[in-house]
């Protein structure tokens, strides 16, 4: 940690802030000053004050409590999305990259087509088929991000596949699944880690976006995206309703990206260039 | 004579005006253009015979006239009809029409036009959505002279005059309607009203211009052409954008401004507002009596007592929207004030009712009975914010209310599957017979029949009360509807939440606005430039 602070203070700060946000979310039940779903705790649209640091929403709910508790949903759904997308995407990428030939040709064209459609559009489509709700949003975002992972992991696999030890493994008669899991996966792991952290922020943003559109979290769940959307109507009179959930999303995504950059430098992975 | 207070107001207005010279420009040149910001994203038709959208009626009331008018005191007044005689059996009405009225296309208004209008409403080829229910059991018309007509009804129809005053019973030009056909007429309506239709740019704006020949308004309006040269009706569906457009002086009238904006803007001398309680069924929830927890009357009553309606009015609407207590708008003549006694917010009473019904508090605060939780499902379409309050309030009484924000399609699916415990409902109609829509047995939804009795309550007694009340008049009608409202409240079929208010906030450069009959549109015929 100290070494990290010396060579990349930004990333070190990011780790601490993110840790703070995650801890607050985990221990929300003890940390929040009020029940985050209780209405009429104070007057509606109350300004930020000593008693209510972040003010209150139209229902008179304490916003500080809701922002803290909101991390539970926003971050965990972001993580779930990441895991789902990464596992399925990297599996697809590795198989295509390793198999090569016609399978790779068709698979890659399919990925190209998927990449041509904006991820948000795919996600909205999936949610409209499966119905609203946080879990469905996680599935939808994961599905939308899948081609992205598949493409990156495919190219990483292509590089590794040409290496001599793969040929050696083939020569001694190892089966393809075993080669993929025991030889290729460990070698592309650094790429995987970097891609994962860089995309976590994006996953959190995407889930928040869908909740903002009313497709994700259902009342009274204090998800950041849906809180942002609730505040829209009162922006003129109670900007704190949008400011604090927005700040939470912003901080989380920035922190995750800083850490991702740091890992990218350290592990020298072939992360996305964007 | 101008009082001291008024003159002070004028002074303040003058000051404000000089501070905003740009805004004043369009009004000062004599040719007043009234710019109205509509909450609709677009409209479908301006054919009064077809429409079922209140937002479309905002154009219809300017372009068309009705046979009779209803004034602010609910009195029927002459309009296109000079006089009338209602038959004693309420099965027909004879009307003497004005002879000096012409349509915008130059053709004369006469008895044949009235006959054409009503005959085409009941013609299935027209595809009427709203007017068909408004005009009642219309059987046909007898043209007794060029300007004398008798309308006949299949059954006694005591409220025929209020039906004829409805915006959807506007008289259309037979010549134009025949020439254009149903769809095209809805896009280029021709009536006798104070404004002529000019153009409609889909999703952007509708333009109307003054009808220079107009002098046949009802007696409570000026008997002359409108002062406003043009009406520009802009579609601005986003509420914040619409309010901002009024603030920026891009429109003169903003409909359906949020309560906070109404409060802020009308606190300054630059803006005034008109607020009317729409007639019909107020916003509330139909409780599904056919399944689950709400099959038990005691549970329905307990639920209603656990909701704090004045709190909603004060905190979500800042007092601008009033709480509703019964299934009929408080502004309706048939409103029964007895509903005020029903189901006040009382958690202790709710707890008592639930305990008596066998629901005991569980470990997590949710009540239980025989191992089952007191769980309810609310798919919410209208005003999802209210659902949040219901959820939090009902929880205190031990209900676990699950909310899903739904689309029209999803709600329809759940209705057909009878998979809900309560549903949000509001129904605007200028007559107490609106109660038939959500409470008549025949309106319980069934496969292939999308109807609105979402409490799914079937009672021959209530059906008879509804039919009898609709066919009666005078004191009998009032007592009939009072009994119906009492029955609906006794059975706890509908949880009324708030009155549905229509509002417009308008610039102080405009004066002379008034609400149309039904309090859901603004009449622009008497609009003037305030100087």
- Under DSSP, the state recorded for A217 is P
pLDDT, mean of residues B160-165? 92
Interchain contact, B403 vs A234, CB within 8 Å: no
- Closest residue in chain A to residue B317, using alpha carbons only: A58
Tell whether B259 is within 8 A of chain A (Cβ).
Answer: no
Residues of chain A found within 8 Å of residue B315, distances taken between Cβ atoms: 40, 43-44, 58-60
Nearest-by-Cβ selection for B315 from A38, A44, A233: A44
pLDDT 10s digits, A188-236: 888 888 888 888 888 888 888 888 887 888 889 999 988 988 888 888 8
Residue A262 has pLDDT above 50, yes or no: yes
Task: Share the mean pLDDT of chain B.
Answer: 91
More confident: B115 or B159: B115
Task: Output the CA–CA distances (angstroms, integers) from residue B183 to A11, B17, B178, B301, B329, in the order listed.
Answer: 64, 44, 11, 48, 34
Interchain contact, A218 vs B385, CB within 8 Å: no
Contact in structure between A144 and A123 (CB atoms under 8 Å): yes
Residue A107 has pLDDT above 60, yes or no: yes
Mutation to test the A interface, candidates B306, B379, B388, most A Cβ within 10 Å: B388
pLDDT 10s digits, B416-448: 999 999 999 998 888 898 999 999 999 999 888
Report the gap between the CA of A38 and the closest CA in chain B (Å).
6
pLDDT at B200: 96
Instruction: Return the CATH architecture of domain A2-30+69-273.
Output: Orthogonal Bundle (1.10)
Report the gap between the CA of B46 and the closest CA in chain A (Å).
30
Q: Residue B392 and residue A35: Cα distance in Å, rounded?
A: 11
pLDDT at B428: 84
Query: Where in chain A are the domains?
Result: 2-30+69-273
Residues of chain A found within 8 Å of residue B404, distances taken between Cβ atoms: 132-133, 218
Mutation to test the B interface, candidates A219, A230, A234, most B Cβ within 10 Å: A219
pLDDT, mean of residues A105-120? 89
pLDDT at B246: 95
Report the gap between the CA of B376 and the closest CA in chain A (Å).
14
Q: Residue B496 and residue B487: Cα distance in Å, rounded?
A: 14
pLDDT at B251: 96
Neighbouring CB atoms inside 10 A of A37's CB total: 19
Contact in structure between A147 and A86 (CB atoms under 8 Å): no
pLDDT at A268: 62
Residues of chain B found within 8 Å of residue A133, distances taken between Cβ atoms: 404
Residues 212-231 on A with a CB inside 8 Å of B are 214, 218-220
Task: Share the mean pLDDT of chain A.
Answer: 88
Residues of chain B found within 8 Å of residue A58, distances taken between Cβ atoms: 315-316, 385
pLDDT at B53: 85
Interchain contact, A219 vs B240, CB within 8 Å: no
- Closest residue in chain B to residue A233, using alpha carbons only: B240
Predicted confidence band of residue A130 (pLDDT cuts 50, 70, 90): confident
Residue B320 has pLDDT above 90, yes or no: no
pLDDT at B185: 96
Mutation to test the B interface, candidates A29, A39, A65, most B Cβ within 10 Å: A39
Interchain contact, B240 vs A233, CB within 8 Å: yes
Predicted confidence band of residue B30 (pLDDT cuts 50, 70, 90): low
Backbone angles phi, psi at B4, to 5 degrees: -65, -40
pLDDT 10s digits, B254-307: 999 999 899 999 999 999 999 988 889 999 999 999 999 999 999 999 999 999
Residue A93 has pLDDT above 80, yes or no: yes
Tokens representing B462 are 């209530």
Residues of chain A found within 8 Å of residue B240, distances taken between Cβ atoms: 232-233, 235-236
Q: Residue B473 and residue B480: Cα distance in Å, rounded?
A: 9
Residue B171 has pLDDT above 90, yes or no: yes
Residue B17 has pLDDT above 90, yes or no: no
More confident: A274 or A175: A175
Predicted confidence band of residue B22 (pLDDT cuts 50, 70, 90): very low
Predicted confidence band of residue B4 (pLDDT cuts 50, 70, 90): very low
Nearest-by-Cβ selection for A220 from B258, B392, B406: B392
ipTM of the shown complex: 0.80
- Closest residue in chain A to residue B410, using alpha carbons only: A131
Residue A92 has pLDDT above 60, yes or no: yes
Buried b (16+ CB within 10 A) or exposed e, B415-447: beeeebbbbbbbbbbbbbbbbbbbbbeebbbee
Residue in the structure block whose two tokens are 């003497």: B96
Residue B464's contacts (CB-CB under 8 Å, 6 or more residues apart) are: none
Predicted confidence band of residue B219 (pLDDT cuts 50, 70, 90): very high
Tell whether A130 is within 8 A of chain B (Cβ).
Answer: no
Nearest-by-Cβ selection for B388 from A220, A234, A237: A220
Query: Count of A–B CB contacts within 8 Å?
Result: 53
Nearest-by-Cβ selection for A58 from B264, B316, B391: B316
Residue B202's contacts (CB-CB under 8 Å, 6 or more residues apart) are: B42
Tell whether A235 is within 8 A of chain B (Cβ).
Answer: yes
Report the gap between the CA of A37 and the closest CA in chain B (Å).
7
Percent of chain B with pLDDT over 70: 94
Nearest-by-Cβ selection for A39 from B258, B389, B406: B389
Residue B35 has pLDDT above 60, yes or no: yes
Tell whether A234 is within 8 A of chain B (Cβ).
Answer: yes
Interchain contact, B405 vs A59, CB within 8 Å: no
Residues of chain A found within 8 Å of residue B239, distances taken between Cβ atoms: 233
Tokens representing B65 are 């006239």
pLDDT at A1: 66
Interchain contact, B240 vs A232, CB within 8 Å: yes
- Closest residue in chain B to residue A35, using alpha carbons only: B392
pLDDT, mean of residues B111-140? 93
Structural domains of chain B in order of their starting residue, each with its CATH number: 20-273+502-529 (3.40.190.10), 281-498 (3.10.105.10)
Q: Which of A53-57, B19-23, B434-438 has the lowest mean pLDDT?
A: B19-23
pLDDT at B36: 97
pLDDT, mean of residues B325-342? 94
pTM of the full structure: 0.81
pLDDT at B212: 95
Q: Residue B524 and residue B531: Cα distance in Å, rounded?
A: 17
Contacts 24+ apart (CB under 8 A), A76-80: A76/A25, A77/A134, A77/A137, A77/A138, A77/A204, A77/A207, A77/A216, A77/A223, A78/A200, A78/A203, A78/A204, A78/A207, A79/A200, A79/A203, A80/A135, A80/A138, A80/A142
Residues of chain A found within 8 Å of residue B403, distances taken between Cβ atoms: 218-220
Handedness of CA B104, B105, B110, B115 (dihedral sign): negative
- Closest residue in chain A to residue B240, using alpha carbons only: A233
As a three-state string, the secondary structure of A54-97 is: CCECCCCCEHHHHHHHHHHHHHHHHHHHHHHHHHHHHHHHHHHH
Interchain contact, A220 vs B405, CB within 8 Å: no
Q: Residue B346 and residue B305: Cα distance in Å, rounded?
A: 5
Residues of chain A found within 8 Å of residue B392, distances taken between Cβ atoms: 37-40, 59, 220
Residue B310's contacts (CB-CB under 8 Å, 6 or more residues apart) are: B323, B345
pLDDT, mean of residues B51-59? 91
Mutation to test the A interface, candidates B405, B406, B413, most A Cβ within 10 Å: B405
Q: Residue B414 and residue B412: Cα distance in Å, rounded?
A: 5
Residue B7 has pLDDT above 50, yes or no: no
């Amino acid at each position: 940690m100290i070494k990290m602070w010396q060579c990349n203070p930004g990333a070190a700060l990011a780790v601490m802030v993110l840790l703070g946000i995650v801890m607050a979310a985990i221990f929300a039940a003890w940390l929040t000053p009020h029940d985050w779903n209780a209405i009429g705790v104070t007057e509606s649209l109350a300004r930020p004050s000593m008693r209510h640091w972040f003010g209150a929403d139209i229902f008179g709910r304490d916003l500080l409590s809701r922002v803290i508790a909101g991390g539970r949903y926003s971050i965990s759904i972001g993580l779930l999305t990441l895991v789902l997308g990464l596992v399925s995407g990297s599996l697809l990428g590795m198989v295509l990259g390793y198999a090569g030939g016609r399978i790779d040709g068709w698979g890659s064209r399919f990925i190209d087509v998927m990449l041509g459609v904006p991820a948000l559009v795919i996600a909205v489509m999936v949610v409209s088929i499966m119905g609203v709700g946080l879990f469905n949003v996680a599935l939808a975002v994961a599905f939308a991000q899948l081609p992205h992972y598949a493409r990156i992991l495919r190219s990483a696999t292509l590089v590794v596949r040409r290496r001599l030890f793969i040929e050696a493994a083939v020569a001694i008669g190892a089966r393809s699944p075993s080669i993929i899991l025991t030889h290729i996966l460990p070698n592309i792991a650094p790429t995987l880690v970097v891609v994962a952290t860089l995309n976590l922020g994006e996953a959190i943003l995407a889930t928040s976006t869908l909740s903002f559109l009313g497709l994700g979290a259902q009342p009274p769940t204090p998800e950041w995206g849906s809180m942002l959307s609730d505040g829209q109507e009162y922006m003129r009179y109670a900007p704190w309703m949008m400011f604090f959930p927005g700040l939470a999303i912003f901080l989380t995504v920035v922190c995750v990206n800083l850490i991702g950059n740091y890992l990218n430098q350290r592990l020298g992975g072939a992360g996305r260039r964007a | 004579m101008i009082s001291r207070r008024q003159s002070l107001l004028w002074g303040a207005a003058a000051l404000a005006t000089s501070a905003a010279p740009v805004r004043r420009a369009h009004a000062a040149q004599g040719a007043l253009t009234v710019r109205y910001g509509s909450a609709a994203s677009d409209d479908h038709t301006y054919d009064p015979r077809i429409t079922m959208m209140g937002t479309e009626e905002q154009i219809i009331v300017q372009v068309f006239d009705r046979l009779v008018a209803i004034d602010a005191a609910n009195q029927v007044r002459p309009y296109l009809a000079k006089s009338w005689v209602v038959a004693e059996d309420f099965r027909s009405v004879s009307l003497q029409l004005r002879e000096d009225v012409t349509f915008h296309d130059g053709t004369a208004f006469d008895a044949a036009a009235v006959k054409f209008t009503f005959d085409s409403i009941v013609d299935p080829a027209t595809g009427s959505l709203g007017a068909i229910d408004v005009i009642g059991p219309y059987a046909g018309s007898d043209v007794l002279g060029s300007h004398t007509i008798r309308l006949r009804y299949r059954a006694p129809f005591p409220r025929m005059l209020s039906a004829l005053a409805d915006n959807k019973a506007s008289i259309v030009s037979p010549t134009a309607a025949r020439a254009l056909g149903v769809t095209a007429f809805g896009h280029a309506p021709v009536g006798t009203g104070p404004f002529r239709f000019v153009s409609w740019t889909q999703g952007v704006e509708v333009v109307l211009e003054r009808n220079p020949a107009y002098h046949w308004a009802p007696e409570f309006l000026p008997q002359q052409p409108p002062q406003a040269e043009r009406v520009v009706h802009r579609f601005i569906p986003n509420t914040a954008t619409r309010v901002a457009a009024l603030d920026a002086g891009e429109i003169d009238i903003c409909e359906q401004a949020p309560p906070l904006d109404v409060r802020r803007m009308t606190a300054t001398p630059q803006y005034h507002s008109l607020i009317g309680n729409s007639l019909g069924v107020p916003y509330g929830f139909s409780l599904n009596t056919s399944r689950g927890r709400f099959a038990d009357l005691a549970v329905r009553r307990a639920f209603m007592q656990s909701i704090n309606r004045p709190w909603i009015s004060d905190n979500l609407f800042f007092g601008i929207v009033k709480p509703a207590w019964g299934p009929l708008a408080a502004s309706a003549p048939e409103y029964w004030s007895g509903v005020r006694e029903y189901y006040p917010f009382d958690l202790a009473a709710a707890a008592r009712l639930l305990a008596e019904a066998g629901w005991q508090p569980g470990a997590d605060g949710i009540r239980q009975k025989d191992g089952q939780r007191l769980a309810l499902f609310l798919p919410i379409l209208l005003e999802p914010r209210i659902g949040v309050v219901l959820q939090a309030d009902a929880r205190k009484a031990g209900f676990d209310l699950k909310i899903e924000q739904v689309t029209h399609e999803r709600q329809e699916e759940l209705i057909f599957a009878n998979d809900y415990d309560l549903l949000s409902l509001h129904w605007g109609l200028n007559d107490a017979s609106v109660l038939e829509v959500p409470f008549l047995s025949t309106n319980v939804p069934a496969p292939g029949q999308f109807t609105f009795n979402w409490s799914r309550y079937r009672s021959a007694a209530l059906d008879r009360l509804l039919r009898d009340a609709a066919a009666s008049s005078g004191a009998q009608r009032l007592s009939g509807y009072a009994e119906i409202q009492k029955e609906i409240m006794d059975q706890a079929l509908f949880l009324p939440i708030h009155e549905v208010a229509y509002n417009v906030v308008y610039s102080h450069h405009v004066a002379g606005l008034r609400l149309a009959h039904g309090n859901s549109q603004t009449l622009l015929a008497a609009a003037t430039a305030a100087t």
